[in-house]
Structure 1
Amino acid sequence: MDGQGGAVPGTAWTPGAVARMLGVSPTTLRTWDRRYGLGPSSRTSGNHRRYTTEDLERLRRVVAGIAKGLAPAAAAATALGDPPPPEPPPGAAEPGDGGPGIGAADAKPARRGFLRAAHRLDEPLMRAAAVDLITRHGVVEAWQHVFTPVLVELGRRAAARGRGVEAEHLASAAILHALRGVPFPDERGRLAALLSCAPDEQHVLPLEALGAALSERGATWRNLGARLPALALLDAVDKLRPASVVVWAHREDIARQVPLDELVDRFDAVVTVGGAGWGAVTTPPGVVRPTSVEDAVRVVLEATGR
C-alpha cells in the first residue's frame, strides 16, 4: 500500500480510495458499514481494514440502486441478496434518505455546536457536523433546520458587530463540502433540472442544497453557478433541454435581469424561480415559485413525471 488510498495490487482498497471511486463521502461508507454490514471484509498484515473487489462491486450496486430511486436500506438489501425491508408507513423516512424530521431536541444542539465551531473558525469540525447531519437526516432537513438558521445567525452577528464575516464564509464552505459529498445519480434520459443564479447573483449555496437534495432522490441536475449572463442561460437551456430550469435571486434588481419571458416562450421546461428577490416581481404565467428546497424538489420531480 502506498498510503495514498491506492489499491493493494489485485486485492484490496482503502476506504478513502473506495469513497473516491464511488463518489461518496467516507462518512457515508462508515454509515453503510454500521447499518447494513457493507464494510470492508479484508485486512492487511497490519490489521488495517480493506475493501475487496467483491466489496466494491456490492457498493457499486448500492449506489446504482439509490440513483434509480431506491432507499439505501433497500439498495443495500438488494446488493447483499436479501429481501428488501418493508416499506415505511406514510410520512416516515429512513435516516439519511431525506431523513426523519429533526426535532427541537436535535436541531437546537446542532445549531449551537455549529455556531461555536464557526466562532472558533473550526472548519474541520463544521465539515464533520454537516456531513453527519446530511447522513442522518437528509439534505432537506439539515438545510431547513440547521444550515439555514446558522447562516442567518452568523450574518446577523456580523452585521451587528461590523466584523465576523470570516466565520460565515467558513461555515458556508463547510456546508458546501458536505452537500457536494452527496453522490450524483447516473445521467440517463432527459436532464431533470438546470440550476442557475441570476445575472450578478453570487449566492450559490441554496442551489447547491437543491442539487444535493435532488441527488438524494435520483434526479439529475447541473448547476451553472453564480453571476450567469442572461444570454448564457438561454444558450445552456437550448443545448441541454432540461425538464425544469431553476433560477435563484436574492434581490429584486438582480431578479429582473432574468429573461423569464424568453425562457417560457422558447422552451418546454418548467421555469422555477427562488429567493427573496422575486417577492415583488410579476412573473409570466406558468412560472413556479417554490416556498422551500423541499417544495422545489417536488416541482422538479413533477416536471420529470415522477
Structure 2
Amino acid sequence: MTYTPRAVAGMLGIAPTTLRTWDQRYGLGPSERTEGGHRRYDEADVDVLRRMVVLIGQGVSPASAAVLARQEPATRTSAPIGADKALKAQRGFLTAAKRLDEPLMLDLAAKLLADHGVVSVWESVFVPCLVELGELIADRGSGVEIEHMASGSVLQALREVPRANGPGVLAALLACAPEEQHVLALEALGAALSEQGGQWRSLGARVPPEALCDAVVRLRPSVVLVWAHRADLAELVPLAELGRRTTALVAVAGPGWAGMTLPSSVRRPAGLAEAVELVMSRV
C-alpha cells in the first residue's frame, strides 16, 4: 500500500510542506512515484517519518533526527522476569507494602520495570501482589491502607515510564466505563504502549458516554479501549454509538465484559500483552 503526501501528513499530524522540506533537506522522501511523477510513500517510508516526528518532539534537531530516523528502532534489552525472580519480587514488594514503606515500594517497582518491562512485571508481580492484598483485606476486615498505598506506588511507577511526545499518530484513547473508578489496568496499558513508542491519551475514571464519544471524534485515535471490572458498568458503555461515530477500532477490556455479547466489530484482548499487540498493530 502506498500513500499520497497529503495522506501521510494527516497520519503524522504535520503539514504537507514539512514533508516536502524533509525530502529536499534530508532525503526523507518517498520510495515511489507514479508515471505522472506524483510522490507515493510506502509503509517503510511512513515508519521512518514517524520516527522523525517522535525524535523532533523529544527535542532532537531535525538534521540529527533524520539520521536517527533512518536507523531501525532499538530493541528493548529487558528480559521477561523468571518465575523464581517473580516470586522473590512479590515477597519483597508485599513486605514493603505491609510496612507501609512507600519509598521502598517505589524503588522496587522502578527497578523491576526498567529490568523486565511493563507487561512482564504487571502480570508476574504487580497483579499477584494486589490480588493477595485484596484477599488479605477480605479475610481480616482490615488493611485497606496497605492496599491503597501499594496501588498508589504501582501507579506512580507506571506513570514514570517515559512517554512518546510530539505530533504523530494517536495509537490509543483509553477510558473507563461510566461509574468505573479502577484505572490502574489502563495505566499499565498506557505505560506498556509508551515502551513501544506508541502515543496514547487517557480519559481516566467514570467517563460519561457522551464525553467518550466526543473525545473519540476529536482525537481520532487508531484504537479506543474501554475498561470495566463489573458487568453492570460495562453495560453503560455506548458501544453502538461509538461504532457509528468513529472509524477507530473499538476494544474492551476487564472482567466486566466476560460473557457479554459484543458487536462483531468490537475486540476484546485477553490480557495486557494482547492489548498492546492489538493497539500497536494499528499504528
**Fold match by TM threshold 0.5:** yes
The answer for the alignment partner of 1:135 in structure 2 is 114
Residue aligning to 2:73:
70
1:112 to 84, 87, 91: 91
1:1-306 equivalences in 2 (<5 Å): 70-71=73-74, 99-304=78-283
> Equivalent residue of 1:247, what SS?
strand
Q: Secondary structure at the match of 1:257?
A: coil
Residues 69/211 of structure 1: CA separation in 2 closer, same or farther (3 Å cut): farther
Three-state SS of the structure 1 residue aligned to 2:149 is helix
Looking at structure 2, the residues matched to 216 and 143 of structure 1 have their Cα atoms a distance apart, in angstroms, of 13
Over 3 Å counting, the alpha-carbon distance change for 1:73 and 1:164 in structure 2 is closer
Contact 1:102/1:137 (<8 A) preserved: yes
**Contact (CA 8 Å) 1:69, 1:218: kept in 2 or not?**
no
Amino acid at match of 2:130: L
Q: Which amino acid aligns with 2:143?
A: G
Name the Cα RMSD after superposition.
2.3
- Is contact 2:80-2:117 (8 Å) kept? no
Answer whether contact 1:121 1:170 (CA < 8 A) is retained.
Answer: yes
Code of the aligned partner of 1:231: E
Classify the secondary structure of the residue corresponding to 2:267. Answer: coil
Q: Is the 8 A contact 2:79 2:116 kept in 1?
A: yes
Per the TM alignment, residue 263 of structure 1 is displaced from its structure 2 partner at its CA by 0.9
CA offset at residue 230 of structure 1?
A: 0.6
Deviations 1:231-258 (A, max 9, x none): 1000100100100001000000000000
Please give the alpha-carbon distance, in whole angstroms, between the structure 2 residues aligned to 1:158 and 1:73. 37
What secondary structure does 2:192 align onto? Answer: helix
Percent identity among equivalent residues? 53
**1:187 offset after TM fit, Å?**
3.5
Deviations 1:66-119 (A, max 9, x none): 9x9823679xxxxxxxxxxxxxxxxxxxxxxxx322112210010001111111
Is the CA contact 2:213–2:245 (under 8 Å) kept in the aligned structure 1? Answer: no
Where does residue 43 of structure 1 map in the other structure?
none
- What is the TM-score normalised by the length of structure 2? 0.74
Per the alignment, residue 87 of structure 1 pairs with none
How far apart, CA to CA, are the structure 2 residues paired with 1:133 and 1:149? 14
SS of residue in 2 equivalent to 1:226: coil
Q: Is the 8 A contact 1:194 1:221 kept in 2?
A: yes
Contact 1:248 1:274 in 2 (8 A): yes
Judged with a 3 Å threshold, the aligned counterparts in structure 2 of structure 1 residues 226 and 65 are, in CA distance, closer, same or farther, namely farther
Q: CA deviation at 1:280?
A: 2.4
Q: Does the aligned pair in 2 maintain the 1:187–1:220 contact within 8 Å?
A: no
Q: Which amino acid aligns with 2:73?
A: L
Evaluate the alpha carbon distance shift between residue 246 and residue 187 of structure 1 in structure 2; reply closer, same or farther with a 3 A threshold. Answer: farther
Structure 1 residue 190: deviation in Å?
2.4
Q: Give the partner amino acid of 1:207.
A: L
* TM-score, normalised relative to structure 1: 0.68
Q: Which runs of 4+ in 1 moved over 4 A?
A: none
